[in-house]
């Protein structure tokens, strides 16, 4: 049997205007982090930067698809949420938040190591990677907040 979530969703959860705004901010930060990491062609030399690039691709895809789905069905048509949909969103948010934390932390530690040797940080390469890692960590926090808001809507 399919369980419908009939109560009013909490602030910031899927199906609310604030939830849509939170997803849009996550998508924007993910795209900024992605663009800052690929702006330098030598990012591919370091495994942690490649990992950050792949994780940002996953997050951009997930947030882009969820943003479109959420905007069409839940904010404009006011369709009620299924419990299984909310559970899927929460689980994928948790996975992506942990991946974003891992990628941001790994990239930040590699940037820290590269900053100790100045000859490896040419042409603002470390600055771009540092900002990209910081945006990944900010994205981790926002995805975690989104997952916590959605957990509150589960029964």
pLDDT value of position 12: 67
SS3 121: coil
Question: Which pair of structure tokens corresponds to residue 136?
Answer: 């990944």
| Torsion angle (degrees, nearest 10) of CA 100, 22, 64, 136 | -20
Reported as a single tens digit per residue, the pLDDT across 124-152 is: 788 888 999 999 999 999 999 988 988 88
Query: Read out DSSP for 58-121?
Result: HHHHHHHHHHHHIIIIIIIS-PPEEHHHHHHHHHHHHHHHHHHHHHHHHHHHHHHHHHHSGGGS
pLDDT value of position 8: 53
pLDDT value of position 5: 47
Residues of the chain with pLDDT under 70: 1-12, 71, 75
pLDDT value of position 1: 44
Alpha-carbon gap, residue 19 to 63, rounded angstroms: 11
Q: Is 86 exposed, middle or buried (0-12, 13-18, 19+ CB in 10 A)?
A: buried
pLDDT value of position 101: 96
pTM of the model: 0.84
> Could you tell me if 142 and 62 are in contact, meaning their C-beta atoms sit under 8 angstroms apart?
no
- Given CA atoms 11, 17, 19, 22 in this order, what sign does their dihedral have? negative
Reported as a single tens digit per residue, the pLDDT across 62-72 is: 988 877 777 67
């Amino acid at each position: 049997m399919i369980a419908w979530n009939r109560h009013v969703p909490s602030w910031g959860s899927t199906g609310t205007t604030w939830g849509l705004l939170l997803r849009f901010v996550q998508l924007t930060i993910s795209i900024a982090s992605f663009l800052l990491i690929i702006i330098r062609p030598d990012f591919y030399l370091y495994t942690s930067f490649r990992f950050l690039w792949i994780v940002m691709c996953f997050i951009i895809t997930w947030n882009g698809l969820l943003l479109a789905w959420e905007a069409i069905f839940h904010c404009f048509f006011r369709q009620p949420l299924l419990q299984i949909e909310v559970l899927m969103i929460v689980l994928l948010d948790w996975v992506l938040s942990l991946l974003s934390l891992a990628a941001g932390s790994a990239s930040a530690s590699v940037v820290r190591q590269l900053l100790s040797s100045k000859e490896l940080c040419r042409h603002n390469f470390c600055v771009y990677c540092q900002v990209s890692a910081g945006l990944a960590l900010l994205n981790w926090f926002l995805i975690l907040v989104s997952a916590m808001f959605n957990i509150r809507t589960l029964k």
